[in-house]
Amino acid sequence: MHKLLIASCFTALTVASLSSASANEFRLYSPDVESDGEIDSSFEYDGFGCSGDNQSPELRWENPPPGTRSFAISVHDPDAPTGSGWWHWRVINIPSDVDHLAANAGAPDGSNMHEDAVQIRNDYGDKGWGGLCPPAHGEPHRYTFTVHALDVETLDVPDDASPAMAGFMIHQHRIHEAGFMATYTRYED
């Protein structure tokens, strides 16, 4: 009986400890895009054969790790038929006291972005959000949304840096990352 009571207490403490660890995990989420859900067509690109609103979704993050001095955001389609996927958005130099990007923060003119943050060129060749635009009537594409906690306040990249160059610098200074995936299928030509 005594061993059973000890085992029950140990199990309860382990579950409580796991629950509190989960509650304090670095986490990225969006009120506009459900993790593992289908992304709304309003986030589709306007051009390149697509006709969406080309607006970025709102993104929120919480519980960054100790030592975080800035954040970076990336959105990538690993299923794009390019051999290397497609970078839809890269944002760097987001101050460590910022915990979200508002809806349409990725406007190409930067008007909705935090003043210290820098939007890197996407694979369309533009700075800002480059909306979803998979081939019409194909299989759903997966989109990975990631927030990176970095150990520097500012990443030193050229103004015309490619998404790959920004990615290299992000990975050199990344403490931790959090993210989610959602899918999108384009049904119109």
pLDDT along the chain (189 residues), means of 10: 41 37 83 96 93 96 98 97 95 97 94 94 95 92 98 94 95 98 87
Residue 24, pLDDT score? 86
Q: Which residues are CB-contacts of 77 (< 8 A; sequence separation ≥ 6)?
A: 85, 86, 88, 132, 134, 141, 142, 143, 144
Residue 189, pLDDT score? 56
pLDDT tens track for 157-188: 998 999 999 999 999 999 999 999 999 999 87
All structural domains of the chain with their residue ranges = 26-184
26-184 architecture in CATH?
Alpha-Beta Complex (3.90)
Residue 5, pLDDT score? 39
